[in-house]
Amino acid sequence: MKLIIFIVLVVGLCVPGPVFAQAFMAARHPAPNEVPAPILSAFPDTQPLSELNTSAELPVMAPELALATYQQRSAAQASLLEGYSAVTVIHAELPETSQQGEFEVQRQYHAPRTLLFKPVRFVGDKFVKSNVIARLLQSEVDHVEKDDPTQTALTLANYKFTYKGRADVDGHLVHVFQVKPRTKRVGLFKGRVYLEAHSASLVRVEGTAVKSPSFFVKNIQFTQDYSDIASFTLPVHMHSEAKARIVGRTIIDVTYTDYQPVPAATQAGMIPSRPQRLQEAFAAVRPHSLAKTTNQ
């Protein structure tokens, strides 16, 4: 049962958009000294970044320019992305007990404090569903409503950046930065950040948690990949592993597909009232509710 403590930390790595600062992206209202002055337009007027042939139309940025532009882009996205829907598939595995499960849900986020889930299907062991995946979803809802994303955002206030050179990640030329948190805090990590060298889009984040949330969990490692979708940079896959003292090694993979981002200008009138949002959010992830609405 101590596995939930690990799950709560992992949740921070798999919540997209301004919820968790897009998994370490800038907070919704960054301090003035954390965001560089505008250098490039974060969202081109004529064509989204996802449709650009960046290697042909944009020059390779200097590392300092890429990092500054990334900070600008992430701050702009936090203001412009008011919501989204997506299909999320969560696969959890406990190798030492040979238990696993896979849960598909329809995810819907409304800025700034609402995250809803609609169960679609489940296959696998009931223990994994109720004690790993359902708790993960519940902790995501709790995180959206209660936590402060500024404390774990990938900003200069929270991290030191050291340039390590160029690399190729899935066909993208990227600038690689080593990051080290300025303080040890749950939710922060040490590792590497990969920025697309032409657009400064976030391509990958990987590393190790610097502080375990519990004595029962250690060696939390993760890799999260991103993609540009309709001018927004969103996570598409997260892989995480940890060692728990009771259940042993834990492996979680989260895949996001079919994103439908909602820009701020079109979001008005779509958000339900606060009491309704809370009730729906908690009902959607309650373990016994999931059991009734999914296939065994």
Edge-to-edge strand list for the sheet holding 202-209: 114-124, 99-110, 81-94, 248-263, 232-244, 217-229, 202-209, 189-196, 172-181, 159-169
Among 101-110, 204-213, 239-248, the range scoring the smallest mean pLDDT is 239-248
pLDDT-based confidence at residue 56 (cuts at 50, 70, 90): low
Residue of 188 and 267 predicted with greater confidence = 188
- Closest-CA residue to 189 (of 58, 2, 48, 13): 13
- Which of the residue ranges 151-155, 168-172, 275-279 has the most confident prediction, judged by mean pLDDT? 168-172
pLDDT value of residue 171: 94
* Residues paired with 244 in a beta bridge: 217, 248
Helix or strand holding residue 118 (H, E): strand 114-124
- In sequence order, what DSSP letters do the residues of 23-53 get, joined into one string? HHPPPSS--GGGSPPP-S-SS-SSS-GGGS-
Res 8: pLDDT:
42
Within a domain: residue 47?
Answer: no
Mean pLDDT of 129-148: 87
The domain of 277 spans 3-37+75-293
Q: 98 in the Ramachandran plot: left (φ > 0), alpha (ψ -120 to 50) or beta?
A: left
| Residue 278 in domain | yes
The arithmetic mean of pLDDT across residues 263-269, rounded, is 62
In a domain? residue 64:
no
Q: Is the pLDDT of residue 19 over 60?
A: no
Does residue 20 surpass a pLDDT of 80?
no
Classify residue 9 by its DSSP letter.
Answer: H
Q: Is the pLDDT of residue 12 over 80?
A: no
Q: Give the chain's domain count.
A: 1
Share of the chain above pLDDT 70, in %: 70
Cα–Cα dist 141/157, whole Å: 26
Q: Which pair of tokens denotes residue 178?
A: 């080593």
Q: What is the pLDDT of residue 142?
A: 87
Instruction: Copy the structure tokens of residue 44.
Output: 């081109």
Higher model confidence: residue 93 or residue 1? 93
Mean local confidence (pLDDT), 202-230: 92
Q: Is the model more confident about 39 or about 80?
A: 80
Helices (H), 15-154: 21-24, 54-57, 63-80, 126-128, 134-146
In a domain, residue 191? The reply is yes
Q: 188 — alpha (psi -120 to 50), left (phi > 0) or beta?
A: beta
**What is the mean pLDDT of the segment spanning 45-52?**
42
Higher pLDDT, residue 288 or 34: 34
Residue type, 49: L
Structure token pair of residue 92: 């959890």
The distance of Cα 70 from the centroid of its chain, to the nearest Å, equals 16
Q: Mean per-residue pLDDT for 262-272?
A: 59
Are 137 and 105 a contacting pair, CB within 8 Å?
yes
- Residue 67 counted as domain residue: no
Residue 50 lies in a domain: no
Pair 86, 107: CB distance under 8 Å: yes
Cα angle vertex 230, ends 203, 74, to 5°?
50
Residue 46 covered by a domain:
no
Specify the pLDDT at position 266.
59
Identify whether 116 is part of a domain: yes
